[in-house]
Amino acid sequence: MRSKSYNESLARNDIAPYMTLDGTTPPFSIPEKMESLINGVDNMNVNVYRYPEGSYVAVSDYWNCYELDPKSLLTIEDIKPKVPNATIMDKMIMLRTAHPLPEYGRNSFITFVSLASAIPEKKSSIKLIRVKTALERHEIVNIDVDRVPYMHSFGITENYAVIIAMPFFVDPIKMFKTLIALNVLEWTRVKELQYAIFFLHTLNAYEDEDDTICLDIATYNETRSMHFFDLDILLDLLARSKQPPADLRRFKLDLSKNTVAVSSFPSSSKTDLPDHLDFPVVNEKIRSNKYCFVYGIRYNTDGEDYLHMALVKKDLCTGDGDAYWSQPYTYLTEPWFIPSPEVSREDDGITPSYARHTN
Ligand SMILES: [Fe+2]
């Protein structure tokens, strides 16, 4: 993306002062940090969506987005949609998901925005938002919260959006003290919690019989993966080998009893690689429905190096359809799934991922 921060960085031959997730090395000076806070997050290079009116947008975990031309891949312009029912003070920290989800049976997407309040008298809030076009957004519901949890994705069924608040909270006061986004996130062990997870990606969610929702998540038991790209970890084989792969879990939400039951999936006798995938994709034709197959990347395939990776297919229903592909010194991008144009089996399609081979 030829974002403003990209173009300015090229022009100065240095990293232009915009907000980044972690700090820079060497760090920005105090005036540069102040400037970066004003400039905000500008690199929307996490995900690409085609919105209902036909616009193509690049998105990240920040509210704004960039429009791009799908034919030339040129960057068109940055888009700053209005946050529905938000005041100037609400707009200091506007987090949203880099994984908006299609609204069941409608020509719209659902996303959320988290507004972290730095004023003690004012509550933080999470708003569930309907995206009609890149610019047109409507509030479905506003939920006031004491603290805003970091949320990279959520779940959607025919009738419900499931927002998952892990004990990893945004502390806006810290933001103003350190001016580094990653420092505002705090993992809080909450004693009353029966089951605390860290996660980045949900697989899918659907409504089952008897008033329950099945929500599937690639889980971790701590936040180490947030620091994986620290240079001292990337360059250290031992530190890399300690990065744990994800565990796939099903959370069954009983809406009448208000309980959650956690379970895992049947394994294949041939390989356990797909049981620990992340960056999950499903056949979008079955999104929000009962399903069996998910595809993704398994890191740390052998416990020796996080960068040993495999492209995997997980059969959540029986484990019998589990499969993987890997090759030494071959690094893979996040995959996606393109279903066969004909109406056919859920797993009839192709799963491209760019592989880079290096010695
Ligand atoms: Fe993601």
The answer to whether 1 and 45 have CB atoms below 8 angstroms apart is yes
Q: Distance (Å, rounded) from C-alpha 322 to C-alpha 303? A: 20
Tell me the CA–centroid distance for residue 4 and ligand 1, in Å. Answer: 23
The pLDDT score that the predictor gives to residue 169 is 86
- The burial of 344, by beta-carbon neighbours within 10 Å (0-12 exposed, 13-18 middle, 19 or more buried), is given as exposed
Helices (H), the chain: 4-12, 30-39, 172-178, 231-234, 237-241
Tell me the CA–centroid distance for residue 297 and ligand 1, in Å. Answer: 12
The response to whether 201 counts as a known ligand-binding position is yes
Tell me the CA–centroid distance for residue 99 and ligand 1, in Å. Answer: 7
Tell me the CA–centroid distance for residue 200 and ligand 1, in Å. Answer: 6
The pLDDT score that the predictor gives to residue 92 is 67
The pLDDT score that the predictor gives to residue 343 is 76
The response to whether 276 counts as a known ligand-binding position is no
The pLDDT score that the predictor gives to residue 190 is 64
- Taking the chain, what is the end-to-end CA distance rounded to the nearest angstrom? 29
The pLDDT score that the predictor gives to residue 203 is 98
Tell me the CA–centroid distance for residue 122 and ligand 1, in Å. Answer: 30
The response to whether 138 counts as a known ligand-binding position is no
Tell me the CA–centroid distance for residue 201 and ligand 1, in Å. Answer: 6
- Indicate the pairing of strand 137-145 with strand 124-131: antiparallel
Tell me the CA–centroid distance for residue 210 and ligand 1, in Å. Answer: 31
The pLDDT score that the predictor gives to residue 160 is 97
The answer to whether 260 and 252 have CB atoms below 8 angstroms apart is yes
Tell me the CA–centroid distance for residue 60 and ligand 1, in Å. Answer: 9
Quick one: which of 129, 118, 142 has its CA closest to 59?
Answer: 129
The pLDDT score that the predictor gives to residue 265 is 98
* Buried/exposed 174-187: b ≥16 CB within 10 Å, e otherwise: bbeeebbbeebbee
The pLDDT score that the predictor gives to residue 38 is 86
pLDDT along the chain (359 residues), means of 10: 95 93 87 89 90 93 93 94 83 84 96 88 92 94 92 96 90 73 74 79 95 96 82 90 93 95 95 97 97 96 91 98 93 94 91 85
Measured in degrees and rounded to the nearest 5, phi and psi for residue 183 equal -75, -15
User: Vertex 315, ends 281 and 308: CA angle to 5°?
Assistant: 65
The pLDDT score that the predictor gives to residue 359 is 67
Tell me the CA–centroid distance for residue 152 and ligand 1, in Å. Answer: 6
Number of H helices, E strands in the chain: 5, 26
Quick one: which of 46, 59, 40 has its CA closest to 137?
Answer: 59
Tell me the CA–centroid distance for residue 307 and ligand 1, in Å. Answer: 18
Tell me the CA–centroid distance for residue 279 and ligand 1, in Å. Answer: 6
